[in-house]
Amino acid sequence: GENVEQHPSTLSVQEGDSAVIKCTYSDSASNYFPWYKQELGKRPQLIIDIRSNVGEKKDQRIAVTLNKTAKHFSLHITETQPEDSAVYFCAASGWDGNKLVFGAGTILRVKS
Amino acid sequence: EPEVTQTPSHQVTQMGQEVILRCVPISNHLYFYWYRQILGQKVEFLVSFYNNEISEKSEIFDDQFSVERPDGSNFTLKIRSTKLEDSAMYFCASSEYRGDQGYTFGSGTRLTVV
């Protein structure tokens, strides 16, 4: 089955700097890759997603890139702010879209 | 914005007891899911449900678990005989299409087994 690896496990950046979180997946049939932000004790919230027919997608300060050949995708956050501090999860979903397989998460700390 | 609603927000139960976790998915959504998250760990898929039947389940979803959509709005997860290791946050989710469209999570039920 699908396996998603996520790195780094923790990431500390200065306010205003960029943050990059990387994920790799194992199943070449996966075609949907969402990113979720989770604040302490709260639900995961979708922040951006990308489908396999697109290489890059951007939404204001957040962007996601996908390399299907290498089976990895990345989250890029520019001009980080303290409120970006949270746990970020990547996930992958296969051709049938029946479930999401999550990465282990990245704790992002933005220092002001 | 439509929400997935879960009740209770926190449930404490004794080992061996049965618990039922309740979810109200978004009204026009057709696909329903349960996930769990042990404290400090990643979110893990338990089961997906469509057209009144389970469409996929994980290894975690063994015989002690069951799901039901008893009426047109509720979606429940039953754990028959709880174990200490069932302590986790349980998230319900729903989507209008198969999981790659508009996947919305509920706020979760924190289950504590003592």
Pairing of strands A56-59, A62-67: antiparallel
Q: Which long-range contacts (CB under 8 A, 24 or more apart) does B35-41 make?
A: B35/A100, B35/B90, B35/B91, B35/B92, B35/B93, B35/B105, B36/B60, B36/B88, B36/B89, B36/B90, B36/B91, B37/B88, B37/B89, B37/B90, B37/B91, B37/B108, B38/B87, B38/B88, B38/B89, B39/B87, B39/B88, B39/B89, B41/A104
pLDDT of residue A59: 95
- As a whole-number percent, the residues of chain B with pLDDT over 70 amount to 96
Taking residues B10-17, what's their average pLDDT? 98
SS3 state of residue A82: helix
Q: Please judge whether B106 and A43 are an interchain contact, meaning their C-beta atoms are less than 8 angstroms apart.
A: yes
| Per-residue pLDDT tens over the stretch A16-34 | 999 999 999 999 989 889 9
pLDDT of residue A56: 95
Token pair listed for B100: 């790659």
From B41, B56, B104, residue closest to A98, measured CB to CB = B56
Please say if the pLDDT value at position B47 is more than 70.
Answer: yes
Residue appearing with tokens 């290894």:
B59
Query: Which amino acid is residue B26, in one-letter code?
Result: I
Query: Which amino acid is residue A81, in one-letter code?
Result: Q
* Least confident stretch, A93-97, B26-30, B107-111: A93-97
B contact test, residue of A99, A101, A106, A107 with most B CBs within 10 A = A99
* Least confident stretch, A66-70, A88-92, B36-40, B69-73: B69-73
SS3 state of residue A83: helix
Q: Which of residues 46-65 of A touch B (CB under 8 A)?
A: 46, 49, 51
Q: Please judge whether A45 and B105 are an interchain contact, meaning their C-beta atoms are less than 8 angstroms apart.
A: yes
- As a whole-number percent, the residues of chain A with pLDDT over 70 amount to 97
| Per-residue pLDDT tens over the stretch B48-73 | 999 889 999 999 999 999 999 988 78
Q: Are A93 and A29 in contact (CB under 8 A)?
A: no
* Least confident stretch, A14-28, A47-61, B3-17: A47-61
Listed in sequence order, the residues at least 6 apart from B108 whose beta carbon sits closer than 8 Å to its beta carbon are A42, A43, B6, B9, B37, B89, B90, B91
Residue A86: band (very low, low, confident or very high) from pLDDT cuts 50, 70, 90: very high
